[in-house]
Structure 1
Amino acid sequence: MALSNWSRTVLTALTGLGAAGLGAFAWGVRECSQFELKEVTVPLLEPGTLRGEEEFRILHISDLHMIPNQKKKQEWVAGLASLNPDLVINTGDNLSDPKGVPGVLRAVGPLLRFPGLFVFGTNDYYAPRMVNPFVYLLGKKRKVSDIDLPWRGMRAAFMEHGWLDANQARHEFQVGHVRIAATGVDDPHHDLDDYDEVAGAPNPDADLAIALLHSPEPRVLTRFENDGYDISFSGHTHGGQICLPGSRALVTNCEIDRERVQGLHRFGKMWMHVSNGLGTSKFAPVRIFCRPSATLVHVVEKTS
């Protein structure tokens, strides 16, 4: 039976929408491997701390969500060692598959020769699960799966090379001329944190007080800020992952506001840096207007 003009018009429109949707999805998948290095500068050190050196360089990586055979990601992250950072900070969700640990170690292996700090997210402990994408877009918290990931071996490898585990821990150490006090909590997005275990002001003799948490939850950031930390580092948000042009996030997947879903911002008296992350869940391998990235943070002396 011949189609009416109206039916042909509707069919043509639906075909066009389907093709556009497939094209957008293909573009979003491709964007997941378009890695970027971001750079920000933040004045945190007292004059004279660096003793004539220009800056203290912190490389912030997060949310690798590694699955086997992601060789481009592994090579790109490994190449960050050429930046020669003074300190590497890894804010978790390294895994997205039970077989992902070798890929993580290939990626961060060259970075392990630098001093480092790390905290974990739930996707270090438990594998991701298939979810309804509309649940994500509505900003609802998703339950973790019951599939354990081999995080203990990964943690041991990090620590054997000198990186410090900041999950529910306080550390003090010195890198070059900079004395650092660092405190972290386990992933607050799924209430694995207990701030009371690590509460209290950082050592006042430290030149730089660093807070670490996987998800930038305001209830925890507020306590870090009240205790007097200079800057917090977190990930988890993927920068919004599915964004409008200009990398304007639709959702944050946590309690932080959309304006501070990525990049360097203030949180009261404290600075905060939220990473876009370098991966996605293997069940949602799409990024729109929000490319994966690592950030080189140039910490400089205050001018006044």
Structure 2
Amino acid sequence: MARSGRATATALGLTVAAGAAVAAYGVFVERVRWTVREEVLPILPPGSRDITVLHLSDLHMAPWQHGKQEFIRSLAHYEPDLIVDTGDNFGHVDALDAIHYALEPFAGTAGVFAHGSNDYYGPVLKNPFGYFFPEQGTSRRPMDIDTESLNSLFADFGWLDLNNHARAIELKGTRIEFFGTGDAHRGWDRLDALPGAVEELRENVEWSTDEAEPVLSIGVTHAPYRRVLDALTTQGADVIFAGHTHGGQVRIPGRPALVTNCDIPAAQAQGLSVWRSARASAFLEVSAGLGTSIYAPVRFACAPEAVVVTLTASDVGYP
């Protein structure tokens, strides 16, 4: 073989080996390198006690994923005051017991949830390049997830359903109103009904005292489509929690997400940012999630994450 041919063969071999090493890292290391991202948001009324929020999203749980289950259970040491679950808990049709086990330490902790489509439909094999051109709409497949049992589990935990609902609680002396949507990726967001739900909540909520006090407004959704973020911001959300994007899942190190699986700007597909709509604005917290589809078990430059957000008092305007 000529010297140039040997050089080409060597370069090709090194390229293949490097590609294989990257793929192996993404499947066997990065995918299970569960992390905790911590954020601080100064949005509570002056003099308020801190509120620790644990944001969980996109567990995509399968029965055999014991390491992920134990990691989630270990998050109890943060002693969260509030759980925000932004959906896609299921990664397998038989995962309910695994989800129950993973989240059991948070039973009795205040919580809210908004489902993703994988809380209704089990995973299927997809063309990965389809994520560059995401489609919205309702699946023609029959729903094969036991969503009713998931809802019952969360209700037993004491968590509030925000799928196109508005609810309110008082937590550590702070009045909090929540409003959420169904999964916008499937067109299940009832934005037409959102203003009425929020208005009804505000008219009928019974706080512990009749004194006029500030109220913290939190928006919750699975898929952070622009129309949803605009609607939640317009309704007065101080902070919005979302998931769905997986942070891009496979990224170029140091670069924004290549894909978001929705129409959110790539730079806001993971992490804490500010969303602006007309003259209103809200903090936006998007989790990269803790799981992947069992048919696409890889992450690169985008480790799975849980997010701990400490809400603190602020003496200035925001955001």
* TM-score, length-scaled by structure 2: 0.88
1:73-108 per-residue CA deviation (whole Å, 9 max, x = no partner) reads 000001111111110000000011111111111111
Secondary structure of 2:18's counterpart equals helix
Is contact 1:210–1:229 with CA below 8 Å preserved after alignment?
yes
Is contact 2:177–2:216 with CA below 8 Å preserved after alignment?
yes
Per-residue deviation at 1:72?
0.7
Cα distance change, pair 23–111 in 1 and its aligned pair in 2 (3 A): same
What is residue 229 of structure 1 aligned with on the other side? 237
- Residues 1:243 and 2:255 aligned together: no
Looking at structure 1, the residues matched to 88 and 133 of structure 2 have their Cα atoms a distance apart, in angstroms, of: 19
Per-residue deviation at 1:56?
1.0
Looking at structure 2, the residues matched to 257 and 198 of structure 1 have their Cα atoms a distance apart, in angstroms, of: 24
Looking at structure 2, the residues matched to 112 and 207 of structure 1 have their Cα atoms a distance apart, in angstroms, of: 25
Q: 1:58 aligns with which of 53, 58, 61?
A: 53
Per-residue deviation at 1:128?
1.9
Q: Which residue identity is paired with 2:287? A: S
Looking at structure 2, the residues matched to 278 and 236 of structure 1 have their Cα atoms a distance apart, in angstroms, of: 11
> Gapped runs of 5+ residues in structure 2?
203-211
What is residue 36 of structure 2 aligned with on the other side? 37
What are the equivalent positions in structure 2 for 1:168-207 lying under 5 Å apart? Answer: 168-199=164-195, 200=198, 203=202, 207=215
Looking at structure 1, the residues matched to 58 and 14 of structure 2 have their Cα atoms a distance apart, in angstroms, of: 35
What are the equivalent positions in structure 2 for 1:146-165 lying under 5 Å apart? Answer: 146=141, 148-165=144-161
Secondary structure of 2:32's counterpart equals coil
> Gapped runs of 5+ residues in structure 1?
none
1:109-132 per-residue CA deviation (whole Å, 9 max, x = no partner) reads 101221100010001111122122
Is contact 1:265–1:272 with CA below 8 Å preserved after alignment?
yes
Per-residue deviation at 1:135?
2.0
Q: Which residue identity is paired with 1:36? A: T
What is residue 24 of structure 1 aligned with on the other side? 22
- Residues 1:14 and 2:20 aligned together: no
Q: Which residue identity is paired with 1:175? A: L
Secondary structure of 1:196's counterpart equals coil
Looking at structure 1, the residues matched to 247 and 307 of structure 2 have their Cα atoms a distance apart, in angstroms, of: 12
Aligned-CA RMSD value: 1.8
After TM superposition, the structure 1 stretch with the greater mean CA deviation from structure 2, 10-19 or 56-65, is 10-19
What are the equivalent positions in structure 2 for 1:107-118 lying under 5 Å apart? Answer: 107-118=102-113
Looking at structure 2, the residues matched to 14 and 278 of structure 1 have their Cα atoms a distance apart, in angstroms, of: 35
Q: 1:140 aligns with which of 134, 144, 147?
A: 134
Per-residue deviation at 1:8?
3.9
Looking at structure 2, the residues matched to 229 and 21 of structure 1 have their Cα atoms a distance apart, in angstroms, of: 44
Looking at structure 1, the residues matched to 257 and 218 of structure 2 have their Cα atoms a distance apart, in angstroms, of: 26
- Residues 1:282 and 2:294 aligned together: yes
After TM superposition, the structure 1 stretch with the greater mean CA deviation from structure 2, 191-200 or 250-259, is 191-200
Is contact 1:247–1:290 with CA below 8 Å preserved after alignment?
no
Looking at structure 2, the residues matched to 290 and 149 of structure 1 have their Cα atoms a distance apart, in angstroms, of: 28
Secondary structure of 2:84's counterpart equals strand
Is contact 1:247–1:289 with CA below 8 Å preserved after alignment?
no
Q: Which residue identity is paired with 1:181? A: E
What is residue 305 of structure 2 aligned with on the other side? 293
What is residue 101 of structure 2 aligned with on the other side? 106
- Residues 1:88 and 2:86 aligned together: no
Paired positions, count: 297
Looking at structure 1, the residues matched to 136 and 160 of structure 2 have their Cα atoms a distance apart, in angstroms, of: 29
Is contact 1:243–1:290 with CA below 8 Å preserved after alignment?
yes
What is residue 207 of structure 2 aligned with on the other side? none
Is contact 1:128–1:145 with CA below 8 Å preserved after alignment?
no
Looking at structure 1, the residues matched to 92 and 159 of structure 2 have their Cα atoms a distance apart, in angstroms, of: 23
* TM-score, length-scaled by structure 1: 0.92
